[in-house]
Amino acid sequence: MPGKEFSRRDFIKITTGVVGGMIGLGLGLPALAYLLDPAFRTTTKEAWVPIGKLSDMQVGTPFQFSFTRVQLNGWERTSTSYGGYVIRKSDDPTDMVILNSRCTHLSCTVNWQQDAQAFICPCHDGKFSVDGKVLGGPPPRPLDAYTDFRVTQDGVLEIFYKEG
Ligand code: FES
């Protein structure tokens, strides 16, 4: 039985298919990688965050700071702002308390009132002392504090941010 002959037409069909497939892969793979890349991106949930120069923070006067954290989770991008106050107790660069300005009642932002020498919450009149203790109002506990901090060689105060 004679074998089927491989015609010129068959050769062109196969060659066209192979070359077309290679071109499709060459164009399709980068496009697919581009589309899928965000799905694998996440940001770390912990980081050292610079909040200001130590030399700008006077002993005894609350220094206000804020920072924003951007969270990437696949295609979802979330920006969250945080704030607080640094209260230096002496010239010792480690002698300080760093308070979160989020009220421990229902999370409104407290503000330092120089006249009252206290942090006042505008939502329900919560009142905190300069070191964060509850002086009045509904807050159930003192202001939260950032306890992990360091001063860089350039004199920048950094806090260690942990999600939650
Ligand atoms: S949220 Fe601050 S006192 Fe209610």
Query: Is the same domain home to 26 and 52?
Result: no
**Could you tell me the residue range of the domain that residue 149 belongs to?**
45-163
- Total residues belonging to the chain: 164
The model carries a pTM of 0.76
Atom of ligand 1 nearest to the CA of 139: 3
Query: Is the same domain home to 71 and 150?
Result: yes
Residue 126 pLDDT grade (very low, low, confident, very high; cuts 50, 70, 90) = very high
Residue 141 pLDDT grade (very low, low, confident, very high; cuts 50, 70, 90) = very high
* Domains in the chain, number: 2
122 three-state secondary structure: coil
| 42 pLDDT above the threshold of 70 | no
pLDDT at 3: 56
Query: Is the same domain home to 67 and 27?
Result: no
Query: Is the same domain home to 92 and 18?
Result: no
133 CA to centre of ligand 1 in angstroms = 14
pLDDT at 28: 85
Residues with CB under 6 A from ligand 1: 103, 105-106, 108, 121, 123-124, 126, 137-139
Rounded Cα gap, residues 45 and 69, in angstroms: 9
Rounded Cα gap, residues 73 and 69, in angstroms: 13
Atom of ligand 1 nearest to the CA of 137: 3
